[in-house]
Amino acid sequence: MRREHPSPAPVLSPASRPAGRAGADDATAVAHPNIALVKYWGKRDERLVLPVTSSLSMTLDILPTTTRVRLVAGAGRDEATLNGVSATGETHRRITAFLQLVRERAGDGRRAVVDSTNTVPTGAGLASSASGFAALAVAAAAAYGLDPGTTALSRLARRGSGSASRSLFGGFAVWHAGHDTATGTVTGTGTGTAEEAEAEEAADLGSYAEPVPAAAGMDPALVVAVVDAGPKTVSSREAMRRTVSTSPLYLPWADSSTRDLADMRTALRAGDLDAVGEIAERNALGMHATMLAARPAVRYLSPATVTVLDTVLGLRREGIGAYATMDAGPNVKILCRRTDAPRVAQALRAGAVRGSVLVAGPGPGARLLGGER
């Protein structure tokens, strides 16, 4: 793994190290963010976090999240801190709801204390829910004594945040939507019959991530251009919901995304980085088009984003294979060959990007610190 930008190893003082065995009541895990090359945009079931389409990502070797879960006998509620700050409101609600799932599976009602640390540069504006819920899934499962295997952990992480299912794995990972068509049936809401519960369980079982084979010689890098570190005005959860329910472009994109995924797998197997980049760029631009057509429109891309897109086009005209992808925000991630990453980073710094420019390579999957994963 490369370290062009130092990837801080998760630092735990000896006193804070967990015992490192399943069911130790105290476990710490580390997970890295991932960037989708074929995007997840839209749920067919909000409660189970089942996506409309399958997606495919690269896990990064920078910006890990380290999360410790300690079980506390007799506590009345879960406590959580993120970078030392107490979680409140929606953030606390999501963490507690997630821990509740783990408690139900473990048959252990004890509440937990969660301490999570991101190494994202302050205000870098990069999503941390993927690495955050992946690390929480691994640490909480170990603390509560569950050892379900990586596929089930991926399904569990999905319930916290869809993209977290992919951060269980290193390198490239595909998250299966879990049904055959982009416009699959919406599953039940959990309030219905035994048949509905059975259908829900089947849908849940079918939606997980797994590693995707890629040719060894490809050597990709993702150059992250932070053009705006501010908070987003519309959450990705709300933006997805609005896009699915109001955008006339949503279903055509979902349909084309299914083809993009098949093409992407072929390009990765062949080690064809230019094809990988072209597919990733068209898939991301299409996703943003669906949002622009939502009512009211969701527009994450800023003038600075468009300037970076021009820089990327300029690099391509010079013969450098550089391809852009954007998520629920204005920042741009540029896929290129590792050998071209310094040139790409330099072009970005010379151009529009006033914020940080980070260079990432393929990173590792989530793991428990202390031995067993």
Residue whose CB is less far from ligand 2P0, 66 or 283: 283
Q: How far apart are CA 71 and CA 28, in angstroms?
A: 12
Residue whose CB is less far from ligand 2P0, 70 or 158: 158
Look at residue 27 and give its three-state secondary structure.
Answer: strand
Residue whose CB is less far from ligand 2P0, 49 or 223: 49
| Amino acid (one-letter) located at 209 | A
Residue whose CB is less far from ligand 2P0, 66 or 257: 257
Residue whose CB is less far from ligand 2P0, 24 or 35: 35
Look at residue 231 and give its three-state secondary structure.
Answer: coil
| CB-based contact 180:56 (threshold 8 Å) | no
| CB-based contact 212:173 (threshold 8 Å) | yes
The minimum distance between CB 129 and ligand 2P0, in angstroms, equals 4
Q: How far apart are CA 251 and CA 267, in angstroms?
A: 24
Query: For residue 179, which phi and psi values (nearest 5 degrees)?
Result: -155, 170
| CB-based contact 221:336 (threshold 8 Å) | yes
Distance between start and end Cα atoms, the chain: 19
Length reported for the chain: 373
Dihedral angle computed from the Cα positions of residues 332, 39, 9 and 126, in that order, rounded to the nearest 10 degrees: 40
Q: Which of 235, 247, 243, 227 is nearest to 302 (CA)?
A: 227
Look at residue 51 and give its three-state secondary structure.
Answer: strand
Q: Which of 350, 338, 342, 343 is nearest to 307 (CA)?
A: 350
Residue whose CB is less far from ligand 2P0, 65 or 129: 129
Site residues, ligand 2P0 (CB under 6 A): 36, 39-41, 49, 55, 127, 129, 161-163, 236-237, 327-328
Residue whose CB is less far from ligand 2P0, 135 or 315: 135
